Copies of this chain bind each other. A is one copy, B any other.
């Protein structure tokens, strides 16, 4: 299996988030932080929500519990392998619960936990940002991309 962060990385820190990192340059001798949290921890979250499917799955689990193939249809382009892996990772982090119903065709339902719901809130903020800045980013990207084809050769441009 080749999931992300499979090894033990016990770097919990103080779990405090003051939120006032005003130019304190803590990197010079102290532990490099983002907003009072170690980047290792940030990395951990990013790896979880940035693995291409976790966020979408979390959003789909928002309203109500979902069955495996139900999620599979909802997520659209996801493969069985990835859905399983994503769900397992989310379950491992205590973000979703896995309920097995020993019926004949076998039924498994997934639902967000309390922690998962709090993450959903943050994730939706991210999605909201994406929606609000989609056009801006697209324009900037196009501009940059276009300009990158004119700047490269300042010599002989005239």
A→B interface (CB under 8 Å)? 8, 10, 12-13, 15-17, 19, 21-23, 25, 27-28, 32, 34-37, 39, 41-47, 49-52, 55-56, 59-60, 62-64, 73-76, 91-95, 115, 118-119, 122, 124-141, 143-145
Contact = CB atoms under 8 A, between A and B. Distances in A.
Most buried by B among A44, A63, A91, A134: A134
Nearest to A136: B115
9 contacts: A12-B134, A15-B134, A16-B131, A22-B63, A35-B59, A42-B126, A118-B129, A122-B126, A122-B129
Nearest to A63: B23
Copies of this chain present = 2
A126 B129 contact: no
Given A46-B55, A55-B46, A10 B62 contact: no
Given A126-B45, A127-B35, A15 B59 contact: no
Contact of A25 (B74, B137, B143): B74
Given A92-B144, A122-B125, A130 B45 contact: yes
Contacts of A55: 34, 42, 46
Given A32-B75, A131-B36, A21 B56 contact: no
A66 to B, nearest CB: 10
Contacts of A52: 43, 46-47
